[in-house]
Structure 1
């Protein structure tokens, strides 16, 4: 274990910052500072925060860099640790303007841009012989040439990462034609073959393309919208899956964390990479419970501290929404505190409740306003 050290999360407005802090709370030797472009994000009220800084987003990257460096220097902070795409990309673009000794593991801007765009990623995987679903940019498709696809197909934005926003399934050519004929249709989207199989994810920490830690998860409870984040996952290990992911991250010489979405294709009997989310992820606390503390290992690797590749428990994990669904199905689960505490997100709500209360209060307030406005 490291002696005491400090870190700054510069993009605390991201909901993922709370999951990162909850994992770091397991290590009392870490002092956490957070900067955000919102005055009152939930993370501000976390019991694990030493100091919070509000810095409004002016749209000027150089001002962001200056403010970040000022905080790093004033409080003698050891490590800069962005958690979301926007923060990671910004710091990757301006690496030379930060103290190299304080930078966490950050991918090069070239590799980041390949990973975050579903289109450039698909072209990269084609060149490097990584299994992936057939993909096409809609703007490159000749007019009315929709019969070239084998249906069903999926249409998705090229850049929106995670969350399933904007992802749509078309079972017939007529459905796709009707959709693209709408006035507000955005042609800069990806059309991708639909894979008949099951969903898997792989969470990673890498250094120069080498996987230092990983967990693998199979979706065990989907959201009402199957393209939205999963509510329950079954942790597992599969050698073939690992080899595919390892080859991809080596080809990108990846630095830092990433979460990969894949699908097992029943037809070809292999795993295919759907997308890379070049950031921390929503089931991060599940990985922590399984035995892999990705944020802390990120700190170790960034500070050039060696550690053995961690093993992890193969169990089923549920987030709060998934737990709610499980209780609805089996109300006796309410009386099984050991299960709820050991295998769900609930333990982190109990340990650090105020940010979660504020998060859902804001959420319900937004819903009420939208309904009565």
Structure 2
């Protein structure tokens, strides 16, 4: 996702929007100005080994300390969980045993473990099914998709004490030429990225990152990227991290970019430009540093072109975890969880130690995955667990205090 300093000030209304359900509204989208956005930095081609701190190769000390769960619940098989840092509710995608619903939307209370369904029927009707969902404690976002023609619609709605309030609002829509958006929720706002399909007739169109606040008639175009965003939008506290294309006249460069959501113009707080062609898998801005990952190795890109997870800002040094990245990084203070195959690595950047948090049955195939994004003192994970005969029987959700 790249930081574009020349966001147009045009506004537009999403075309062909029709109300689908009583009281459902549609919003228009407007552009913001460029705000406090300094010149894009130089690509970080790191060849100096002194700038790399290797967690698993001797620079950190291994410890057998782990984390004990403060709560654990067995949920129905197929449940997927999504938790925003600091929230008391997690969004859930459910797969009920019903011929009338392929999946439904729900929420999980991290206080009680209560899992409830909040929406069964897609707003768009029986030809659509649920594709993705996120929530904060006050708003829920979800995507409905028609797999026959690959059209999709993004909705937002209020959420209070685990119950939907008001009416659904259609935020965006697209056909087969547009990928279903990547979404997140923050406080009473929904953030999403709209990106053209790389092989469709709209492949030359720009990508956009939008934000909509509950009760507003308009969403705001935060960023226009003249190319595809590399990662999903992530929020940690009040900072949004996106990875748009930068240095677009010089080649393919992605800029990890942290924006302050509390400022009127979404001011840029920090940016780290990756080496040429290196596309990050995920990125967040945690405790004043970028926590990001790369899922492949790139020749000639320096140390930041190696597969693994990293902590650092432009100029270095960079803390490096030499493991295949599988999910977002989450943490609190100087402690971070980095997902590996059968466990999470518990990394303490202050004490310079690392340990392991294993999945409930140490299964490589079925989990354990972090549901939480951003800084959070309470981290939620979920894993498919098996019976004594080895058959998957449910999803184990666990809460840990960091």
**TM-score normalised by L of structure 1:** 0.29
Larger helix proportion, structure 1 or 2? 1
**TM-score normalised by L of structure 2:** 0.28
